[in-house]
């Protein structure tokens, strides 16, 4: 089989470095991009996305605590761009699910838009934000009554870009949809993170549905290639309760962390299980701007 072409630098030197759950993981030695090749088919991905995602949020157990930690996480991301936003500004969330982030955006006075692939989640989001504000499908195919370019003040991709089949098309579509001066905010696993260098092949982010794994350097390169400017990075922070972590590791089994989480859960008093902590998750938060028009 011919070597897969690197999605960012177009090099042909990518090497297989791991096989896991039937997927082959490649790393490009030139730009360090990691990716699954060949990509899993649609049926495999649909199967993964059906239902299991809601279990992972721990929603069946304690929705109140799960929502509180998600809210803090989303508030942190929204606050990163609040200085460029005004009341009524249009915000797009890619992979909006049932619209938890958009609920928050709406409460803060912004106009919420979303795209999502799950039928179930799209129905709920449309009921909340209106038919015209939620599109079912990928960003590059998205249609909005509001327009096909220069409509959003901020576009959020939280745990989204690693799932798409063509990140370049996705980022280019975000560029087109953003107003000049608008901001793109990406959260995605960071192969240059400390957790990756500690855990290596047992890194928690290696999953069949994560098709691409970026570093700060190569995602920066992709953003510059697609015309973005002012690219800067922050550590990805998520707010967690021990209870949430426990449910995550029950859904996504890990040889070390799942037994550890269970042990902790059995020993921790109830109040501690629901206490909210902030932790860095081996992800990066990337901010980039669509350049403003020159006068
Ligand atoms: Zn490369």
CATH number of 100's domain: 3.40.50.150
Gap from CA of 16 to ligand 1 centroid (Å): 13
Cα–Cα distance measured from residue 155 to residue 117, given in angstroms and rounded to the nearest whole number: 17
The alpha carbon of 155 is separated from its chain's Cα centroid by a whole number of angstroms, namely 12
Gap from CA of 5 to ligand 1 centroid (Å): 8
Q: Is residue 56 part of a domain?
A: yes
Q: Is residue 245 part of a domain?
A: no
Specify the pLDDT at position 275.
Answer: 75
Specify the pLDDT at position 260.
Answer: 85
Gap from CA of 13 to ligand 1 centroid (Å): 8
Gap from CA of 80 to ligand 1 centroid (Å): 30
Gap from CA of 185 to ligand 1 centroid (Å): 23
Low-confidence residues in the chain, pLDDT < 70: 1, 51-65, 295
pTM, entire model: 0.87
Gap from CA of 157 to ligand 1 centroid (Å): 22
Gap from CA of 237 to ligand 1 centroid (Å): 27
Gap from CA of 215 to ligand 1 centroid (Å): 11
* DSSP for residue 256: T
Q: Is residue 95 part of a domain?
A: yes
Q: Is residue 225 part of a domain?
A: yes
Gap from CA of 125 to ligand 1 centroid (Å): 37
Specify the pLDDT at position 149.
Answer: 97
Cis omega (within 30 of 0) on the bond before 38?
yes
Specify the pLDDT at position 273.
Answer: 76
Gap from CA of 12 to ligand 1 centroid (Å): 8
Q: Is residue 250 part of a domain?
A: no
Domain count, the chain: 1
Specify the pLDDT at position 141.
Answer: 97
Gap from CA of 14 to ligand 1 centroid (Å): 7
Q: What are the tens digits of pLDDT across the range 31-71? A: 999 999 999 999 999 888 875 555 444 455 566 667 777 88
Gap from CA of 263 to ligand 1 centroid (Å): 41
Q: Is residue 109 part of a domain?
A: yes
What distances in angstroms separate CA 253 from CA 98, 247, 292, one per listed residue?
Answer: 25, 10, 45
Q: Is residue 198 part of a domain?
A: yes
Gap from CA of 137 to ligand 1 centroid (Å): 28
Q: Is residue 129 part of a domain?
A: yes
Domain that holds residue 149: 45-63+84-236+283-289
Gap from CA of 32 to ligand 1 centroid (Å): 6
Gap from CA of 31 to ligand 1 centroid (Å): 4
Specify the pLDDT at position 170.
Answer: 98
At 132 the three-state DSSP class reads helix
Gap from CA of 214 to ligand 1 centroid (Å): 10
Gap from CA of 246 to ligand 1 centroid (Å): 36
Specify the pLDDT at position 241.
Answer: 76
Specify the pLDDT at position 251.
Answer: 77
Q: What are the tens digits of pLDDT across the range 151-183? A: 999 999 999 999 999 999 999 999 999 999 999
**Over the chain, what HEC string results?**
CCCCCCCCCCCCCCEEEEEECCEEEEECCCCCCEEECCCCCHHHHHHHHCCHHHHHCCCCCCHHHHHHHHHHHHHHHHHCCHHHCCCCCEEEEECCCCCHHHHHHHHCCCEEEEEECCHHHHHHHHHHHCHHHEEECCHHHCCCCCCCCCCEEEEEEECCHHHCCCHHHHHHHHHHHEEEEEEEEEEEEECCCHHHHHHHHHCCCCCCCCCEEECHHHHHHHHHHCCCEEEEEEEEEEEECHHHHHHHHHHCCCCCHHHHHHHHHHHCCHHHHCCCEEEEEEEEEEEEECCCCCC
């Amino acid at each position: 089989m011919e070597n897969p072409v690197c999605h960012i630098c177009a090099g042909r030197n990518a090497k297989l470095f791991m096989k896991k759950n039937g997927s082959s993981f490649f790393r490009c030695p030139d730009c360090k991009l990691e990716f699954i090749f060949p990509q899993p088919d649609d049926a495999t991905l649909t199967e993964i996305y059906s239902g299991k995602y809601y279990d992972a949020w721990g929603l069946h157990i304690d929705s109140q605590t799960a929502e509180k930690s998600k809210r803090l996480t989303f508030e942190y991301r929204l606050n990163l761009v609040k200085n460029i936003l005004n009341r009524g500004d249009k915000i797009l969330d890619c992979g909006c699910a049932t619209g938890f982030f958009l609920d928050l955006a709406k409460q803060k006075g912004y106009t919420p838009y979303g795209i999502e692939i799950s039928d179930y989640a799209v129905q709920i989001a449309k009921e909340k934000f209106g038919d015209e504000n939620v599109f079912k499908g990928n960003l590059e195919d998205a249609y909005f009554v509001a327009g096909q370019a220069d409509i959003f003040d901020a576009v959020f991709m939280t745990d989204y870009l690693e799932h798409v089949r063509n990140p370049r098309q996705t980022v280019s579509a975000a560029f087109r949809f953003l107003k000049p001066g608008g901001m793109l905010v990406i959260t995605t696993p960071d192969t240059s993170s400390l957790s990756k260098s500690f855990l290596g092949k047992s890194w928690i982010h290696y999953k069949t549905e994560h098709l691409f794994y970026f570093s700060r350097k190569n995602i920066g390169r992709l953003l510059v290639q697609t015309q973005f400017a002012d690219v800067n990075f922050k550590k990805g922070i998520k707010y967690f309760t021990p209870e949430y972590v426990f449910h995550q590791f029950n859904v996504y089994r890990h040889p070390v962390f799942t037994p550890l989480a269970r042990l902790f859960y059995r020993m921790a008093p109830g109040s501690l299980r629901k206490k909210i902590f902030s932790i860095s998750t081996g992800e990066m938060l990337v901010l980039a701007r669509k350049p403003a028009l020159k006068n």
